[in-house]
Amino acid sequence: MNEEQLLKTDRDGLSSKDDEYYMGIALRLAKEAASEGEVPVGAVALWEDGRVVGVGKNRRESEKCALCHAEIEAIAEANRTLGGWRLHKCTLFVTLEPCPMCAGAITNARIKRLVIGARDPRAGAYGSVFNINDLPLNHKTELTCGVLEEECAGVLKDFFKDLRKIGK
């Protein structure tokens, strides 16, 4: 078998290797957030033609706003880039399983597919605490979990370990 045959391809044409590439971008954004004192979460919105149409990182502390989650930032930028609110041909890569607020935004934006790095056992809305796709809503988002999971979880663990050291 050649490399192409070994790659597992999802319904939207992205391979598992592509998923890791875009999750790597989200992971770099998460690391930027951590260096700025923010919880390290990053997100990348990818349109079906391969264009990155939105990126985001947590900015709740710097902006003093509970809405400044990485997913919300990436969705808002994608809306501006594309000139509309429907992101039905978009894949969203996020380093941490979205919270209920972000899951609602993902559903409302009609995002086709969500790729998650690490699970969030305290607030995850795609299976950890509850699954928004199980609710009788008008849109269901395709889900891929565990992409670069160890790296995504590691950034979060390191951030909170360092935070505990300085007593915050």
Whether the CB-CB separation of 43 and 95 falls below 8 Å is answered with yes
- Who's near 43: CB < 8 A, 6+ residues apart? 26, 29, 54, 55, 56, 57, 70, 71, 73, 74, 92, 93, 94, 95
How does 91-127 read in b/e, with b if 16+ C-beta sit within 10 Å? Answer: bbbbbbbbbeebbebbbebebbbbbbbbbbeeebbbb
| Sheet with 42-47: strands ordered across | 52-57, 42-47, 90-96, 113-118, 142-145
**This prediction's pTM:** 0.90
CA-atom Rg of the chain in angstroms: 16
pLDDT (tens place) for every residue of the chain, 168 residues total:
233 333 333 434 556 689 999 999 999 999 999 999 999 999 999 999 999 999 999 999 999 999 999 999 999 999 999 999 999 999 999 999 999 999 999 999 999 999 999 999 999 999 999 999 999 999 999 999 999 999 999 999 999 999 888 876
Q: Which residues are catalytic?
A: 71
